[in-house]
């Protein structure tokens, strides 16, 4: 209560105040446990490959034609985009799985109304983080300063590209602020399909060490040019310092221990 969620519509502020923390906790759990905890790499070792020779690539329907060679790892092959790619993959896993009843029940979201509100807050909240993530992009050097921010911005761009009015950014007349508009009725249809296709690419390109395709895809989703330069300025106008959490202190006054806390 009392917190203003940047770039979120006014009518959704009470909903975010009530459900954002719980929804974010659910996404974090799915992100860490299943997102980072899944995804097999196709690897060649001195004893052979860890996959059958007739394995089919689901992206093109053809036999797998690339994999990690002896001594190669995801980090050595994907290099500078590896961290952001992996964070993007884990975030997408959490957004996709939060649509599943079994996952929602683990976090005690059971009432049908609460479930749909939670899904809406989760998806719009990710878009919010993606738009705020622009603040971590340096226009002068054309570089991203934070892997999570780049990952979430890629998700924002992907959802906007899904079309059919799923997600849009609406600027005010003065060009000083922006509002994210997510059509909640399309999350389980247009949104889920777009997320599934994107997640499939993230998983398969990582598994098969296809760095050229991966880099092309990721850079197309995370470049900041054209209209995004203006949106970058808007996002930065609403930048605020990160919260600083300070533990209470104990002091002795007249031989008595007193607790001193801070606002």
Active-site residues, by number, are 32
Distance CA 132, CA 57 (A): 35
Distance CA 186, CA 35 (A): 23
Cβ–Cβ under 8 Å, residues 198 and 85: no
Tell me, rounded to whole angstroms, the distance of Cα 40 from its chain centroid.
20
> Which residues does residue 63 pair with via DSSP β-bridges, in sequence order?
56
b or e along 189-207 (b: 16 or more beta carbons within 10 Å of the residue's beta carbon)? Answer: ebbbebbeebbebbbbbbb
Q: Quick count: other Cβ atoms within 10 Å of Cβ 35?
A: 25
Phi, psi for residue 155 in degrees, rounded to 5: -65, -40
Read off the tokens for 56.
């089919």
Length of the chain: 263
Mapped onto helix, strand or coil, the DSSP state of residue 98 is: coil
Q: What is the DSSP string of 156-208?
A: HHHHHHT-TTSEEEEE-TTSS-EEEEE-GGGIIIIIHHHHHHHHHHHHHHHHT
């Amino acid at each position: 209560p009392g917190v203003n969620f940047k770039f979120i519509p006014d009518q959704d502020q009470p909903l975010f105040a009530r459900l954002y923390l719980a929804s974010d906790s659910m996404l974090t759990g799915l992100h860490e446990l299943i997102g980072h905890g899944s995804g097999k790499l196709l690897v060649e070792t001195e004893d052979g490959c860890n996959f059958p020779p007739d394995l089919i690539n689901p992206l093109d329907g053809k036999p797998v034609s690339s994999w990690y060679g002896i001594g190669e790892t995801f980090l050595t092959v994907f290099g500078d985009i590896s961290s952001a790619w992996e964070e993007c993959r884990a975030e997408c896993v959490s957004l996709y799985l939060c649509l599943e009843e079994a996952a929602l029940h683990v976090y005690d979201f059971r009432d049908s109304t609460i479930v749909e509100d939670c899904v809406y807050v989760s998806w719009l909240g990710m878009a919010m983080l993606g738009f705020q993530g622009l603040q971590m992009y340096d226009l002068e050097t054309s570089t991203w300063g934070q892997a999570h921010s780049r990952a979430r911005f890629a998700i924002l761009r992907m959802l906007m590209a899904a079309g059919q009015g799923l997600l849009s950014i609406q600027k005010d007349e003065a060009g000083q602020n922006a509002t994210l508009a997510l059509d909640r009725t399309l999350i389980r249809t247009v949104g889920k399909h777009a997320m599934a296709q994107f997640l499939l690419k993230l998983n398969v390109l990582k598994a098969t060490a296809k760095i050229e395709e991966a880099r092309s895809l990721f850079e197309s989703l995370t470049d900041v040019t054209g209209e995004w330069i203006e949106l970058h300025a808007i996002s930065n106008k609403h930048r605020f310092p990160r919260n600083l959490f300070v533990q209470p202190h104990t002091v002795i006054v007249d031989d008595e221990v007193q607790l001193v806390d801070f606002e």
